[in-house]
Amino acid sequence: MPVNILAQVFDQGLSSIPLGWTAVKVAPFFALLYLLKWFFNGAVNKSERNMHSKVVMVTGGTAGIGAEVVKQLATRGAQIVLLVQQPLTDPFFVDYIEDLRTQTGNELITAEHVDLTSLHSIRLFATKWVDNAPPRRLDMVILCANTMTPAGGKPTMTEDGLESSWGLNYVANFHLLSILSPALRAQPPDRDVRIIFGTCAAYVGGQLPDFDAKSSTAKSKKERAQTEFRPSNVYATSKLALMTFAVAFQKHLSTYARPDKKPMNARVIMVDPGWTRTPGMRRFLTFGSLWGLALYLFTWPVWWLVLKSGDQGAQTFLYAAMEAQWGRGDGGYFLKECRKVSWSRKEIDDEVLQKQLWESSSKTIEILEKEGAKKRASEKKEKEKAEGKSTAKESNSEATQRKAK
DSSP character string of 199-236: --GGGGG-----TT--TTSSS-HHHHHHHHT-TTTHHH
Active site residue 239: yes
Residue 333, CA distances (Å) to 184, 228, 272, 306, 338 in order:
18, 28, 11, 26, 12
Residue 158, CA distances (Å) to 70, 84, 142, 169, 378 in order:
26, 16, 22, 12, 19
| Given the residues 71, 214, 221, 239, the one annotated as active site | 239
Q: Could you give the 3-state DSSP secondary structure of residue 271?
A: strand
- Which segments of 237-394 are extended strands (E)? 266-272, 333-336, 339-340
Determine the Cα–Cα distance for residues 167 and 363; give it in Å rounded to an integer. 14
Say which residues have a Cβ less than 8 Å from residue 400's Cβ, sequence separation at least 6: none
CB contact at 8 A, 308 and 273: yes
Q: Which amino acid is at 350?
A: D
Q: What are phi and psi of 271, to 5 degrees?
A: -130, 125
Q: Which amino acid is at 341?
A: V
Query: Looking at the annotation, which residues are catalytic?
Result: 239
